[in-house]
Structure 1
Amino acid sequence: MAQQWEDDLKDWVAGWDAVRGTEAPPQNVVAWDGSVPSKDGLVLVCPEDQVVMARGAVNAQEKEVLSQGILLTGAVQELDRGLSFPGESGMFDAPMGDVTRFEVDEWGKPVAHSTLSVQDEVAYMGPLLTDASTERDPAEVLDPLVSSMANEAFLADAERLYTVVPEDEVPARESQGWERAAVVLRLG
């Protein structure tokens, strides 16, 4: 039986490509089915309990895993927690074709941003980026940013939200309401 991320694969990958921008070529993303296609630039997505088998199959094909990320998912209604921004911070959004850029400003200075692409019932959120020179805990602006973006996805009739992050970002994202869905292996 397919998992939800597999059923949504086409849509969240379209969102992921849109967030990456037009200067990046579309990714060749496939769900792990026990084999590794011989395509170049492959991104293989597999359940966490099958990552060792997938890596073994990749090695047998004499390919290399260039990076490993975690596909996270969350119900839009669960991620929209109605959080507000601290102090004099405010959020602005700007539609830009297939994506909307969200920016958190404080006293007119950008302190965090991300992008969102909605594809039917699925939305994909790009990386959450913060200004490193800010002394505050990044969660003070990132948690409300995720909440606001989930609200925007809800208004666009999306039911689920996806993102791909490095393993070290997972704990902060889980505290926002995200859940692990799969492992993403970029092959070379």
Structure 2
Amino acid sequence: MTQQWQTDLESWVAGWDAVRDDAPQQEVLVWSREVPSGENHVVVCAPDEADTVRSALQAAGREVAATEVLLMGDVQELDRGLGFPGEAGLFDAPMGDYSRFEVDEWGHPVAHSTLSVQDEVAFMGPLVADPSKERDSSEVLDPLVSAMANEAFLADAQRLYTVVPEDQVGQRESQGWQRVAAVLRLA
């Protein structure tokens, strides 16, 4: 049975490529039990298949450089109408195929991310919070996700995707994201 992330593959990959505009493009493949040859491949599979796929790739001589998680959320669920703390405000700037969103507090950036909308699908880049601030980063990151989901909704996107390291999944699930696939980057 085809999963939603597979149906949306072309769109979320285009968004992922857009927000990583300075990184080399990678060919993203759904695991089909065939080991890709060549450079710059990413293999995506169901979360419960990650260990099996990693073993098959390694048995074929391919090194898995990183395993991450593909998350998906309904834009209406992620747009929770959260406000920013104190004197913080949101600014966005179109950058071609994506927009950069920045949270500023008293004229200083405290968090940022990127968003690319591809038809009914949007892709959110990494969430980055200023580590020097003495506060729980969720105070600015949760409203940032909410605001970006609202922007995606206004652009007629229905679903929002992001790729994160495993250690960020818990925080993202509390924002309304769901784990939908494993992302294995090949060396």
Q: What secondary structure sits across from 1:175 in the alignment?
A: helix
Aligned positions, number: 187
**Cα pair 2:25 2:40 within 8 Å, conserved:** no
**Cα pair 1:35 1:57 within 8 Å, conserved:** no
Report the alpha carbon displacement of residue 51 of structure 1 after superposing the two structures with TM. Answer: 1.2
Supply the distance in 2 between the matched residues of 1:47 and 1:2 (Cα, whole angstroms). Answer: 11
TM-score (norm 2): 0.98
Per the alignment, residue 98 of structure 1 pairs with: 97
**Cα pair 2:42 2:185 within 8 Å, conserved:** yes
Supply the distance in 2 between the matched residues of 1:82 and 1:94 (Cα, whole angstroms). Answer: 21
Percent identity, aligned pairs only, is: 67
Which residue identity lines up with residue 41 of structure 2 in the other structure?
A: L
Report the alpha carbon displacement of residue 52 of structure 1 after superposing the two structures with TM. Answer: 1.9
1:59-111 CA-partner distances (Å, limit 9, x unpaired):
12101010010000000000000000011000001111000000000000000
Supply the distance in 2 between the matched residues of 1:172 and 1:80 (Cα, whole angstroms). Answer: 16
**Cα pair 1:113 1:129 within 8 Å, conserved:** yes
Report the alpha carbon displacement of residue 39 of structure 1 after superposing the two structures with TM. Answer: 2.8
Unpaired stretches in structure 2, ≥5 consecutive residues = none
Q: What secondary structure sits across from 2:99 in the alignment?
A: strand
Report the alpha carbon displacement of residue 26 of structure 1 after superposing the two structures with TM. Answer: 1.4
Per the alignment, residue 82 of structure 2 pairs with: 83
Measured on the aligned residues, the alpha-carbon RMSD in Å equals 0.7
Per the alignment, residue 42 of structure 2 pairs with: 43
**Cα pair 2:121 2:158 within 8 Å, conserved:** yes
Which residue identity lines up with residue 89 of structure 1 in the other structure?
A: A
Q: What secondary structure sits across from 2:146 in the alignment?
A: helix
Q: Which runs of 4+ in 1 moved over 3 A?
A: none
Per the alignment, residue 114 of structure 1 pairs with: 113
TM-score (norm 1): 0.98
Q: What secondary structure sits across from 2:104 in the alignment?
A: strand
Supply the distance in 2 between the matched residues of 1:24 and 1:140 (Cα, whole angstroms). Answer: 29
Per the alignment, residue 18 of structure 1 pairs with: 18
